[in-house]
Amino acid sequence: MHSTWLTRQCLLQRPGHGLYPFSGVKTQADRNGRARTDGAFARRGHFKGHGEWSDPDGILMVLEITVGDRDTNQRDRIDKPIGYATAEIPVYLLIDRDNSAVTVYSEPKDGRYQQSFSHPWGATVDLPPPVSITLDTEELKEYAD
């Protein structure tokens, strides 16, 4: 599954920002204090000069897409939400291929996201501030098993 559909929607609705694939983020709590995202949404040019591992300040959202391996549940549904919330990244977007759902985690506090809402593929999904993008997930249905 490609994140092209998401990149396109992000650029159209927030042209001063970008969705940066495979960004390394310092998370403190997750995986030895670091996580490699499937995508990080931030202002254009945000990662310049950061090196391989970026501080989370300025990252508005991280994206993960499940891959169906045996580590997916622990990594994408447990470890990464804790790591990203601890790093106070405002929004964590999980594209869950196992469940054909999009889950939006928001309002990080004390190492946990206070809000999480799941939507079936095909739904219109409003990403909360500071992301403030409305996603059309209809295209994701093409990736359903």
Q: For residues 90 and 106, give the distance between their C-alpha atoms in angstroms, rounded to a whole number.
A: 6
User: Considering only CA atoms, which of 82, 79, 94 is closest in space to residue 1?
Assistant: 94
Q: What's the pLDDT score for residue 145?
A: 57
For residue range 38-81, list pLDDT tens digits in order.
899 999 988 888 888 888 999 999 999 888 777 776 778 888 89
Which pTM value belongs to this model? Answer: 0.90
Domains along the chain with CATH numbers: 4-143 (3.90.1570.10)
Question: What is the phi/psi pair of residue 143, to 5°?
Answer: -100, 0
Q: Are 8 and 135 in contact (CB under 8 A)?
A: no
Q: What's the pLDDT score for residue 105?
A: 97
Structure tokens at 22: 């495979």
Structure tokens at 91: 């929004």
Q: For residues 15 and 75, give the distance between their C-alpha atoms in angstroms, rounded to a whole number.
A: 31
C-alpha torsion sign, points 30, 97, 8, 120 = negative
Whether the predicted pLDDT of 3 surpasses 70: no
Q: For residues 112 and 84, give the distance between their C-alpha atoms in angstroms, rounded to a whole number.
A: 8
Residue with tokens 């928001």: 106
